[in-house]
């Protein structure tokens, strides 16, 4: 018996091989670090919304609903940053899959569902970064509202941004290639204008905007402050309309993602 | 004898083609690879090598036949870390450093203890803190080899691991690979570089159009099929005092390149000859070429 151990450093064990458990948290930590190090991505998810906050209404103390204008703008910009974050992370995840990293991961014992869970957690943590930063800037520069305004709006901004992870996934599954993530976050800018996030809209643009994906989400996030009343007396949105918008687009994005996934599988 | 590393019976894979027609990528392969063997899958592009390898790894499910890896399903073998693979180009995240990449995959295997071992094995120590996107193609392939070693597998499958590398990088990659193979692992690699099969495999499986055309010890495959030499007689107007007109040779090279011939200067019995004889595609064109040359 002892002679055998000296010959080979590696022997093919027939049975009883050690089965190690995947360390999902370690992987998530490394992935998160990689995302936060991406300067381009962080510029669009953190620096740009913070800059826009400065431009559009930082410190504007005029009363608005139960808060002030500065707070209203703060929520909008945090929403823009959070949505950009989830779109980027989810979109990049789809691209990683198609570029071969998915095969690398498929050759580990990690179940696919656990991988999706890791990616979702990373996306939600990255989304929390612009929200925390912009809320901190707001708190330091005169955004004011009651405690419920702060907590409820932050929670809605954060949780609602998950819908746009589905959006990012859908775009990157439907449009192949490395540019897909860029297309997805570029469209977010346009949808932010139409969604009444950047400058208050009225008239026909507002009527069109009501049907665009970011409108319902942003409206809900600002509902604790405004109770649905739009800036410059442009109108009023009931909760059901905002919820219907979010639900409808969630279904559309999910359907697109499933369609993109099927189409991709068939091509393999 | 112990359980074979790979046991495939009637392994078949059909795909739906662009216009709905059925494409047969792998056409009823029977194959047994024993523990500790080093086997080359040799064949031109489109021979079905990658599809075959994907079925060994459970990444693609067969339309017909069966495949077992160490007596279990490929998926099971992957889960247990008994089999791993180095895929073709791609498959790395550019934003990770070399060490982070290894740490990430080691975490998914639950084997953080292997990180430093495999970095050293693959000769990546000096590059450990470099971003993947700053690594050369050869360095990236060695990183992928390191990832394949993480679960300390019994079987490593390499799918054209040296595609796109220059000669030096290719040599370095195989040196690293061989040093590790000495550990008694089973190695299966797909390649269309004939010299690689010649130099590194004990056994060569020749594939063309989804079928196995020859299977045996590499030197026997060469001896059995390498006895034929095709000789071309160039037209008189291109032969001068200094040999054959260079421009004409370049034209010839371009003309035969689509047949998989990448070097005209190879002489004597070699796997090249076996390759051409077996893959068969040149046969019809050969006559045409000959006619044109005379």
Q: Nearest-CA distance from B80 to chain A in Å?
A: 6
- List of chain B residues whose C-beta atoms are within 8 Å of the C-beta of residue A96: 93
pLDDT of residue B177: 78
Q: Nearest-CA distance from B100 to chain A in Å?
A: 7
Instruction: Give the lowest-confidence range in A6-20, B160-174, B219-233.
Output: A6-20
pLDDT of residue A128: 94
- Please give the helix or strand (H or E) that residue A68 lies within, else none: strand A67-68
pTM of the model: 0.76
Distance of CA A239 to the CA centre of its chain: 22
Closest residue of B to A92, CA-based?
Answer: B93
Backbone dihedral region for residue B210 (phi beyond 0: left; psi -120 to 50: alpha; all else: beta): left
- Residues paired with B204 in a beta bridge: B40, B216
pLDDT of residue A257: 87
Given an 8 Å threshold on Cβ–Cβ distance, is A23 in contact with B87?
no
Whether the pLDDT of residue A14 is over 60: the answer is: no
Q: Are strands B38-42 and B186-191 parallel, antiparallel or unpaired?
A: parallel
A109 touching B (Cβ < 8 Å): yes
**Which token pair is B228?**
């034929």
Q: Which residue has the higher pLDDT, B106 or A103?
A: B106
From B82, B91, B186, residue closest to A101, measured CB to CB: B91
pLDDT of residue A180: 83
Whether the pLDDT of residue B3 is over 90: the answer is: no
- List of chain B residues whose C-beta atoms are within 8 Å of the C-beta of residue A101: 91-93
- Residues paired with B6 in a beta bridge: B33, B69
pLDDT of residue A159: 95
pLDDT of residue B161: 85
pLDDT of residue B111: 92
pLDDT of residue B266: 33
Range B196-205 burial, b when 16+ CB lie within 10 A, else e: bbbebbebbb
Whether the pLDDT of residue A263 is over 80: the answer is: no
Given an 8 Å threshold on Cβ–Cβ distance, is A108 in contact with B100?
no
Q: Which residue has the higher pLDDT, A56 or A237?
A: A237
- List of chain B residues whose C-beta atoms are within 8 Å of the C-beta of residue A26: 103-104, 107, 112
Across chain B, the runs of DSSP E, i.e. the strands, are 6-16, 22-33, 38-42, 64-69, 83-86, 155-159, 186-191, 203-208, 211-217, 239-240, 243-244
Whole-number percent of chain A with pLDDT over 90: 41
The angle formed by the CA atoms of residues A43, A44 and A45, to the nearest 5 degrees, is 95
DSSP letter at B151 equals: T
Q: Nearest-CA distance from A80 to chain B in Å?
A: 24
Given an 8 Å threshold on Cβ–Cβ distance, is A23 in contact with B107?
yes
pLDDT average, residue stretch A27-47: 89
Given an 8 Å threshold on Cβ–Cβ distance, is B105 in contact with A108?
yes
Q: Nearest-CA distance from B109 to chain A in Å?
A: 5
A39 touching B (Cβ < 8 Å): no
Instruction: Give the lowest-confidence range in A240-254, B43-57, B225-239.
Output: B225-239
pLDDT average, residue stretch B61-69: 92
Given an 8 Å threshold on Cβ–Cβ distance, is A107 in contact with B57?
yes
Closest-CA residue to B101 (of B61, B71, B141): B141
Whether the pLDDT of residue B171 is over 90: the answer is: no
Mean predicted lDDT score pLDDT of chain B: 80
Residues near A91 by beta carbon (within 8 Å), at least 6 away in sequence:
A168, A169, A171, A172, A180, A181, A184, A185
pLDDT average, residue stretch B240-247: 69
pLDDT of residue B168: 78
Residues from B contacting A (CB-CB < 8 Å) are 2-3, 5, 15-16, 35-36, 57, 59-60, 70, 78-82, 84-85, 87, 90-93, 95-96, 100, 103-105, 107-112, 144, 147, 151-152, 154, 183-186
Whether the pLDDT of residue B284 is over 50: the answer is: no
- Please give the helix or strand (H or E) that residue A264 lies within, else none: helix A239-267
Whole-number percent of chain B with pLDDT over 90: 33
pLDDT in tens, B177-218: 777 766 778 999 998 877 788 888 889 998 888 888 889 998
Per-residue confidence band for A135, with pLDDT thresholds at 50, 70 and 90: very high
Q: How many CB pairs under 8 A join A and B?
A: 109
A113 touching B (Cβ < 8 Å): no
Q: Nearest-CA distance from B59 to chain A in Å?
A: 8
Whether the pLDDT of residue B268 is over 80: the answer is: no
pLDDT of residue B282: 44
pLDDT in tens, A157-214: 999 999 999 999 889 888 877 788 888 888 999 999 999 888 888 888 888 999 999 9
From B81, B87, B104, residue closest to A30, measured CB to CB: B104
Rg of chain A on CA atoms, in Å: 22
Given an 8 Å threshold on Cβ–Cβ distance, is A21 in contact with B107?
no
pLDDT of residue A65: 83
Per-residue confidence band for A2, with pLDDT thresholds at 50, 70 and 90: very low
Q: Nearest-CA distance from A265 to chain B in Å?
A: 11
Whether the pLDDT of residue B52 is over 80: the answer is: yes
Instruction: Give the integer Cα–Cα distance in Å for B264 and B252.
Output: 9
pLDDT of residue A76: 93
Whether the pLDDT of residue B245 is over 80: the answer is: no
Closest-CA residue to B260 (of B87, B27, B46, B23): B46
Residues near A226 by beta carbon (within 8 Å), at least 6 away in sequence:
A64, A65, A72
Mean predicted lDDT score pLDDT of chain A: 85
Instruction: Give the lowest-confidence range in A107-111, B30-34, B67-71, B165-169.
Output: B165-169
């Amino acid at each position: 018996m002892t002679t055998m151990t000296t010959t080979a450093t590696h022997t093919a064990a027939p049975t009883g091989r050690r089965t190690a458990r995947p360390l999902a948290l370690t992987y998530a930590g490394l992935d998160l670090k990689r995302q936060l190090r991406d300067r381009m991505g962080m510029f669009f998810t953190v620096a740009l919304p913070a800059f826009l906050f400065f431009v559009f209404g930082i410190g504007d103390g005029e009363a608005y609903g139960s808060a002030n204008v500065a707070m209203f703008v703060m929520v909008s910009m945090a929403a823009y940053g959070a949505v950009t974050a989830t779109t980027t992370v989810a979109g990049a995840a789809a691209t990683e899959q198609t570029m071969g990293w998915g095969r690398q991961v498929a050759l580990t014992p990690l179940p696919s569902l656990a991988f999706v869970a890791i990616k979702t957690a990373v996306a939600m943590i990255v989304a929390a970064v612009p929200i925390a930063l912009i809320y901190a800037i707001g708190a330091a520069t005169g955004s004011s509202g009651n405690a419920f305004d702060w907590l409820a709006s932050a929670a809605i901004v954060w949780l609602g941004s998950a819908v746009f992870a589905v959006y990012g996934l859908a775009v990157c599954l439907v449009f192949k290639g490395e540019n897909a993530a860029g297309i997805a976050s570029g469209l977010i800018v346009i949808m932010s204008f139409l969604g009444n996030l950047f400058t208050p809209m009225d008239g026909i643009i507002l009527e069109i905007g009501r049907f665009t994906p970011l409108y319902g989400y942003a409206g809900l996030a600002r509902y604790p402050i405004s109770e649905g009343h739009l800036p410059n007396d442009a109108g009023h949105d009931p909760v059901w309309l905002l919820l219907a918008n979010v639900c409808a687009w969630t279904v559309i994005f999910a359907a697109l993602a499933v369609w993109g996934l099927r189409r991709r599988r068939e091509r393999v | 004898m112990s359980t074979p590393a790979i046991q495939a019976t009637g392994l078949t894979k059909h795909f739906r083609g662009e216009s709905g027609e059925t494409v047969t990528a792998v056409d009823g392969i029977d194959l047994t690879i024993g523990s500790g063997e080093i086997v080359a899958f040799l064949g031109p592009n489109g021979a079905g090598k990658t599809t075959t390898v994907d079925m060994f790894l459970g990444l693609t499910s067969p339309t017909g036949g069966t495949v077992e890896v160490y007596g279990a399903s490929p998926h099971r073998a992957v889960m247990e870390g008994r089999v791993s693979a180095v895929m073709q180009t791609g498959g790395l995240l550019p934003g990770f450093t070399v060490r982070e990449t290894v740490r990430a995959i080691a975490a998914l295997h639950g084997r953080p203890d292997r990180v430093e071992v495999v970095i050293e094995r693959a000769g990546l120590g000096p590059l450990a803190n470099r971003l993947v996107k700053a690594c050369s193609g050869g360095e990236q392939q060695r990183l992928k080899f390191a990832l394949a070693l993480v679960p300390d597998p019994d079987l490593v499958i390499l799918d054209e691991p040296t595609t796109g590398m220059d000669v030096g990088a290719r040599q370095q990659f195989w040196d690293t690979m061989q040093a590790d193979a000495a550990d008694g692992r089973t190695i299966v690699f797909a390649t269309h570089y004939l010299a690689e099969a010649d130099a590194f495999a004990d056994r060569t499986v020749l594939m063309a159009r989804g079928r196995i055309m020859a299977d045996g010890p590499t030197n026997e495959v060469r001896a059995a099929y390498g006895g034929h030499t095709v000789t071309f007689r160039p037209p008189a107007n291109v032969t001068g005092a200094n040999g054959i007109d260079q421009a004409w040779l370049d034209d010839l090279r371009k003309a035969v390149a689509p047949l998989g011939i990448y070097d005209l200067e190879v002489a004597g019995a070699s796997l090249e000859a076996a390759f051409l004889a077996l893959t068969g595609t040149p046969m019809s064109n050969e006559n045409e070429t000959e006619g044109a040359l005379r």
